[in-house]
């Protein structure tokens, strides 16, 4: 049995890998947000951040409290953020730049990819293994210590392999 601090550290390590995956994929801004802003006469859009997802699906578990506490220590509480002309109910959504949380996102915020982006990943990169609900549950289980060490290592390998496929295709 690991401590909740150790589980959070593992979660943050996977978050770093997933952030790298999304950075290499580079889909959301170029293929969705930028286009939606043009369609919206240059006005900001919320894209898929249409709720306070940073808390909506969090589990009642001490490790989720720890994640929230660390997020608020680093980036402030939701109440501390006020943007002019907000386009999302989520306080962490900056209408000009999107989510202001580079780390410590909730599992659903970290894992989510819409159908269109998953289709693009499949067609353009031949990557079929990204299942956003599966990733969401894996992230929850890492936090709650319900993921075996082997599953954790396999999960990391799978994300690394997706990153490598994207890099190889983009060369």
CB of 99 to ligand SF4, least distance (A): 3
Residue 120, Cβ neighbours under 10 Å: how many?
17
Quick check: 141 binds ligand SF4 (CB under 6 A)? no
Kindly write out the interface string for residues 27-66 of this chain, putting x where it contacts ligand SF4 by CB under 6 A and - elsewhere. Answer: xx---xx-------------xxx---xx------------
Contacts of 35 (CB under 8 A, 6+ apart): none
Contact by Cβ (8 Å): 86, 80? no
Nearer CB in complex with ligand SF4: 6/40: 40
How many chain residues touch ligand SF4 (CB under 6 A)?
21
CB of 113 to ligand SF4, least distance (A): 5
Binding residue for ligand SF4, selected from 21, 63, 66, 90, defined by CB under 6 A:
90
Contacts of 24 (CB under 8 A, 6+ apart): 163, 166, 167, 170
CA dist 28 and 35 (Å) reads 10
Residue 143's Cβ-count burial label (10 Å; 0-12, 13-18, 19+) is: buried
Quick check: 118 binds ligand SF4 (CB under 6 A)? no
Q: Which residues bind ligand SF4 (CB under 6 A)?
A: 27-28, 32-33, 47-49, 53-54, 90, 92-93, 99, 101, 105, 109, 112-114, 116-117
């Amino acid at each position: 049995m690991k401590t909740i601090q150790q589980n959070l550290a593992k979660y943050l390590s996977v978050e770093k890998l997933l952030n790298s995956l999304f950075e290499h994929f580079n889909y959301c801004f170029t293929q969705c947000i930028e286009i939606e802003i043009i369609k919206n006469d240059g006005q900001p859009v919320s894209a898929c951040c249409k709720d306070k997802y940073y808390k909506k699906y969090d589990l009642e578990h001490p490790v989720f409290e720890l994640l929230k506490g660390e997020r608020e220590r680093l980036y402030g509480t939701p109440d501390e953020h006020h943007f002019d002309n907000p386009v999302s109910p989520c306080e962490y959504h900056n209408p000009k730049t999107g989510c202001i949380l580079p780390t410590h996102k909730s599992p659903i915020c970290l894992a989510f990819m819409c159908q269109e982006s998953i289709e693009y990943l499949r067609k353009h990169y031949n990557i079929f293994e990204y299942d956003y609900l599966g990733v969401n549950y894996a992230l929850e289980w890492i936090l709650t210590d319900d993921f075996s060490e082997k599953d954790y290592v396999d999960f990391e390998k799978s994300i690394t392999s997706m990153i490598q496929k994207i890099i190889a295709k983009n060369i």
